[in-house]
Structure 1
Amino acid sequence: MFRTPAVDPLWLYRLLPFLRWMPRVGKESLRVDLVAGVTGAIIVLPQGVAFATIAGLPPEYGLYTAMVPAIIAALFGSSWHLVSGPTTAISIVMFGALSLMAEPGTPYYIELALTLTLLTGLFQLAMGIARLGTLVNFISHTVVIGFTAGAALLIASSQIKNFFGLNLPHGASFGQTMLGFFHRIGEINFYVLGVALVTLLTGMVVKRFAPRFPYMIAAMLAGSLMALALNHYLGDARTGIRLLGALPGRLPPLSLPDFDPKVLGQLAPSALAVAMLGLTEAVSIARAIAVRAEQRIDGNQEFIGQGLSNIFGSFFSAYASSGSFNRSGLNFEVGARTPLAAVFASIALGIILLLVAPLMGYLPIASMAAILFLVAYGLVDLHHIRAIFKASKRETAILLVTFFSTLFVELEFAIYVGIILSLIFYLMRTSRPNVVAVIPDPGTSPHPLSASAQLPYCPQVQVVRIDGSLFFGAVHHVEQRLAELEQQYPEQKILLLNARSINFIDIAGGESLAQEAKRRRKQGGDLYIYGIKPAMYEVMERGGFIRALGSDHIFAHRKEAIRHLFPLLDAETCARCTQRVFDECKALPMPLSTTAS
């Protein structure tokens, strides 16, 4: 009888991850997911317009980015609550990368943005397939904090001309913009400034006293009403208040990136930076919410979900997207239970766009500038910045270098610099494990090892603990520390190594231990090890280092090692010793001079 071959469920879940949470879907979950989706659609409406403006794209592209990519990321990611779409950090990086190649807002600029999005998705998908989900663990959170703080100032500086109604050069650097502002401060248009201030203050008040109401929408309404009144009574020629213009009332149109190899080569470095930044944002947000939702996140699956969302998005007029902290947090708070909430949000946003697109024509550009000022302020994480300054000089250095690189250098370079610094400091920490001489504490039971210099020590045996991995990068430091301890206690010829805290060893580490044993034996001493973990023992055995050390020099426990060592110690030295460090020492008679006294 013919039987259908069984399908591996693990493989099927990786290919179609939405099958994992489909059993959670029911009448009640559909209801709460629908409510969460509609709420998220309302929130992203002003955000999408603002973020597209930051990216140098027409406003509707921010809304397109919150539709198709969000659906794909929800279906092929692993998080129940992560909502993808346009983000501030990616928008500012895209503007920095593309504004040097084309005029923002032009058809060629849009084509480059779509091409960059496609490349970003391909990089992310490739990393997900290669199971490189743990890569984001090596990107310090300090890099993201420093980058977003710098990006906040760039966003604010880019909107100064619209906020104050000044004629400043387009695409100027941060320094040039601030210098131009101070030179033309006497040319401020107070009608424009008034609209911007009303928008800004309304947003701040609503956010402070009515946090449940979408403060951006309230701010936009207040600014639009004031602009409408001023233009009606004074005329727009006198006020100089410019309006955004109506959005096209249509769903995301099909689009085609540029497949020219030359263009792809030019955009590849920026795309890699955007890919890493987007993955860091998405996985960090997903993990933060998963802790509260008691869910486990698969980093590799998130890579795949984000990659597919950007690949598909590039063919549906969307620019590079990632996880949105505001929308994802809101999605969890309002009770969403499955990723269908993100799907419902995208559908609801499409309906809202068709209905309200003409009304966006009454939105003043000054109000958009004020909204972006609010966005910029929210990006500066003062709490964590203060904590970093207090806690660590190295993290402070990473923060400052990333921050100033963001302001004064190319944005993708700032990301790379921050990541490289994080990796350098990580390698420095792991390559300098703590190597300390320890002594059994006779005042406690069962005599745990202590590093206190006040305790008596054995004149013949030195017990040393290594806290960290013994690999090629750490070998020199460990050898140096062992040499220092040997110079400090030259009479201790025998080294007893506590290996309980060594989680990993490589060939270089094994060779180092073998050479240390060989050197000490030439000087009349020896090397013994106890507490080796199975993985470490396996590497040392395969490399022949157990044979070099001697299998009778490897022990499971300290007491077992001391029992073996004790008969090998110099009897005369033990007879004169008054320290009584080990339990075996206490069975010996005290020296005659001590007894007589």
Structure 2
Amino acid sequence: MSSRPAPAALPAHRPKGPGLPPWLLILLPFLRWWRRVTPHNLRLDLMAGLTGAVVVLPQGVAFATIAGMPPEYGLYAGMVPAVIAALWGSSWHLVSGPTTAASIVVFSTLSVFAEPGSADYVRLALTLTLMVGILELAMGLARLGTLVNFISHSVVVGFTAGAAFLIAGNQVKNFFGLDIARGLGLHEVVGTLLLNVEHLNPFVTGVGVATLALGLAVRYFFPKFPYMIAAMVGGSLIAYALNQLLGVGTTGIRTVGALPAGLPPLSRPDFSLETIRQLAPAALAVTLFALTEAVSIARSLAARAHQHIDGNQEFIGQGLSNLAGAFFSGYVATGSFNRSGLNFQAGAQTPLAAVAAGVLLVGVVVLVAPLAAYLPNAAMAAILFLVAWGLIDFHAVRNILRTSRSETAVLAVTFFGTLFLQLEFAIMAGVLLSLGLYLNRTSRPKLISRVPDPRTPGRDFVTDPSLPECPQIKIARLDGSLFFGAVNYVAETLHRLEEARPGQRHLIISATGINFIDVAGAEFLVQEATRRRAEGGGLYLIRLKPGVCEPLKRGGYVDVMGRENLFTGKTEAIASVVARLDPQVCQTCTARIFRECAAKPGAGGGGDTGTDHPAASGQVG
């Protein structure tokens, strides 16, 4: 693929222009970038759009086959939905349409309710598309664009890897010419294949292998050429030659059949409550996954184009595109990584490239659709094998396995759930597990003991069990938010520390690592301060962030804890707390770790083990 042309001279953000009220920009967001459409940019966009229209032709047919839909529906999903998503989204380069992930979820969800390819199946797919569109639009209008950030990357990697195996398993019968019952699990498909090796159709298998080999060869030796198109053409020519020489009755090579040529017809989803109830869990799962895919791709390309992405606007664009798709014979559409990346590399400057791709696809279909009558199912199966192999992100899988056991667990749950459960439940299980692990981490903030280190010039405070501690003061740094889920863990940690050193009734907490305190956390601080005060000690907070402290002030919690117990500096805090210590304990203390200890009883002339460095009493960080 040729290198991307240099960006146009226009700035990344053009002025909105006079006479454009905010409400109009909300209704017609494409007016924000419309002034970027210059003759130069328009020419680049049209070329990129033509490239995208050619590429989506084999992909659309392949993805529709994965979804169990008639092949033309994959092309329809790349027409109107792609145009709507481009005009009402926020990305300059995102191209929406049918994708592998959405297709495999559609098939897994709907195949239990109707025969793939049947009228009932298509009607259910249209209904699912409508529900996904409504959910996406509602989430965008509710400003919930940040929700996709909570779907772990490991969920996406695990799901797509599992989907790759399912795609390959579903095409085994077409690749080898076997009669395998619909609805079998992957292990059952493999078992059936092994038990019926002698029944393989050599002509069908030969066409499949030749198509697969041709696609791999073109992809390796001519990476700039659309390998799917080359493989389809090559497989079709081989199948046509065999059928002409030996006859279809001898070869058994079946073809996809001619596709309808023209605009996508109007369609009508099923609005019955029973259908909506059946599809509700799948609609939610597909919505979350589709939005994650679209926004992730948009953000990735935006980073390279120095563009800002509005996640909520992207939700709205995706929602409107699926609403339109439900009534224009499309099924669930979302952002396509392959086509979006190609669009960027082809030099697209504005979303008009994606609009052009959707419009030009109509013309491409009119010209090419009749030729699908020569496309053998075995060749399509080989193409889908290539698609499946490309879905597995081996680099990401290796990194996850090496880096994190918890993320490995999320990857494994999603992967095996995809293989052996319904896909929507696999996605939900992965999402819930990743959220659970996240909550487990955030509910266990680190409470680190700190002591002054005499080996450093500034007596920096460090975590070193071998260094002495003050017998009356416990210094700790809290790293993490103090909210309802973390309160019990912090309380148990403090209890263990208190059991180990019961004389340390004064607790100084370095609060620079606290980003959030909710009502439960504030109540805990009040209870801890009150209890320690009753026992002759106290609770003190150093450098509590203003944004964290203000809610405590408004709620009256600071007054209960005592404003005098909140300090902006470490030296001030140490000096104040040391002055409140029990002099009898200080008289027999040999630790003397603070500079202020020199003024306490029993220190003597040599009791000051500190230094004249101004930070000697307070490097609590």
Q: In structure 1, what is the equivalent of residue 231 of structure 2?
A: 219
The 5-angstrom pairing of residues 549-568 of structure 1 reads: 549-568=561-580
Distance in 2 (CA, whole Å) between partners of 1:587 and 1:215 is 82
Distance in 2 of aligned mates of 1:8 and 1:575: 77
Shift of 1:10: 4.8
Asked if 1:25 is matched to 2:34, the reply is no
Give the one of 247, 266, 279 matched to 2:278: 266
2:72 is aligned with 1:60:
yes
The match for 1:458 is: 470
2:421 corresponding residue in structure 1: 409
The residue matched to 1:457 in structure 2 has which SS?
coil
CA separation of 1:445 and 1:251: change in aligned 2, threshold 3 A: farther
Match of 2:593 in 1: 581
| Bigger mean CA deviation after superposition, 582-591 or 403-412 | 582-591
Aligned partner letter, 2:477: R
Distance 1:513 1:309 in 2: 50
Q: Counterparts of 1:146-225 in structure 2 under 5 Å?
A: 146-225=158-237
Aligned twin of 1:251: 263
Residue in structure 2 matching 1:313, options 325, 329, 332: 325
Residue 464 of structure 1 aligns to a residue whose secondary structure is strand
Superposed, 1:490-569 pairs within 5 Å as: 490-569=502-581
Q: Partner residue of 1:102?
A: 114
3-state secondary structure, aligned to 1:131: coil
Pair 512,352 (structure 1): closer, same or farther in 2 beyond 3 Å:
same
Q: Call closer, same or farther: CA 1:207–1:580 in 2, change over 3 Å.
A: farther
* 1:14 aligned partner: 26
Give the structure 2 partner of residue 284 of structure 1. 296
Could you tell me which amino acid in structure 1 is paired with residue 537 of structure 2?
G
Q: TM-score, normalised by structure 2?
A: 0.92
List structure 1 runs of 4+ shifted beyond 6 angstroms.
587-590
Q: Which of the numbers 450, 463, 479 marks the counterpart of 2:491?
A: 479
Task: Tell me which moved more, 439-448 or 86-95.
Answer: 439-448
Distance 1:586 1:37 in 2: 79
Q: Secondary structure at the match of 2:327?
A: coil
CA distance in 2, matches of 1:278, 1:313: 14
Worse-matched range after superposition: 482-491 or 104-113: 482-491
- SS of residue paired to 2:539: strand
How many angstroms does 1:473 deviate by? 0.3
Structure 2 residue identity aligned to 1:401: V
- 1:423-472 deviations in whole A, cap 9, x for unaligned? 11111011111111112344446554322223332222111111111000
Render the CA deviation track for 1:17-56: whole Å, top value 9, x for unaligned: 2122112211111111111111111111110000000000
- CA distance in 2 between partners of 1:529 and 1:592 (Å): 31
Q: Calculate the aligned-residue CA RMSD, in Å.
A: 1.9
Structure 1 counterpart of 2:556, which letter?
G
Q: Who is 1:570 aligned against?
A: 582
Gaps of 5+ in 2: 1-17, 608-621
Contact 2:89 2:313 in 1 (8 A): yes
Match of residue 35 from structure 1: 47
Distance change >3 Å, CA 449–CA 24, structure 1 → 2:
farther
Q: Does 1:420 align with 2:432?
A: yes
Partner amino acid for 1:42? V
Query: Which of 344, 347, 365 is residue 353 of structure 1 equivalent to?
Result: 365
1:370 is aligned to: 382
Identity %: 58
TM-score, normalising length: structure 1: 0.95
The 8 Å contact of residues 14 and 301 in structure 1, kept in 2 or not, is answered as no
Contact 2:140-2:315 within 8 A present in 1 as well = yes
In the alignment, structure 1 segments of 5+ residues that lack a partner are 1-5
Q: Which moved more, 1:266-275 or 1:53-62?
A: 266-275
Report the Cα offset of residue 543 of structure 1: 2.4
Give the drift of 1:408. Answer: 1.0
- With over 3 angstroms needed to count, the CA separation of the structure-2 counterparts of 1:49 and 1:214, relative to structure 1, is same
**For residue 572 of structure 2, what is the amino acid of its counterpart?**
E
1:437/1:485 contact within 8 Å kept = no
Once residues 146 and 457 of structure 2 are traced to their aligned partners in structure 1, the CA distance between those partners, rounded to angstroms, is 41
CA contact (8 A) 2:598 2:604 kept: no
Q: Which residue of 1 aligns with 2:131?
A: 119
Distance in 1, matches of 2:437 and 2:214, equals 44
Residues paired across the two proteins, number: 591
For the residue of structure 1 that corresponds to 2:449, the secondary structure is strand
